[in-house]
Structure 1
């Protein structure tokens, strides 16, 4: 029987192989953190605006956050959509980003299966 650590390490190996695929440009560590933050909000069906994200200081200063969101939009990970308030934009994952999470889930299932 495999130890949980073996499964996790296998998953990390498979996830790293996914990063090498030419789907979307690589994210820096802060962008990865932002992506995970947006994904968790999406999973909970929470609406998330740039202003909402600024309340989370662990994601960086407002200027840093704006720069990273802009970078992630240019790389194809995030999109901004209009809300009822024209001054507020909702942050959403792109279809390509959602596909990336699907591939990670498949890698995790494969690691857990041991194949």
Structure 2
């Protein structure tokens, strides 16, 4: 398979596939013409990486998860620990975003939104 076919099958852009190759997540062979030759195993790895990235795992987490996936002697506890840490980061981010939304919602509610120059939104942004 060439990179265009792999892109179509995985939904990953060719640029992403090239990047994953550059950082060593996939290592397709090169044909005599110098083009990448992808096998089904590469397709599977790329789909795995695409799904992991969709769930927000970092590249390094993906590298570790892929290594664990390929390790028949892995302990599922190792995989769970990575997922649990990632979930904690997601929940922290959700809490931060909720706090931001609450604050901004309050400021929007306090702003008259009329022709007067006084604006609690700008006052809040300008405070130290």
TM-score (norm 2): 0.29
Higher strand proportion (structure 1 or 2): 1
> Larger RCO: Structure 1 or Structure 2 (Cα < 8 Å, ≥ 6 residues apart)?
1
Structure 1 or 2, whichever has the larger Rg, is: 2
Higher helix proportion (structure 1 or 2): 2
TM-score (norm 1): 0.32
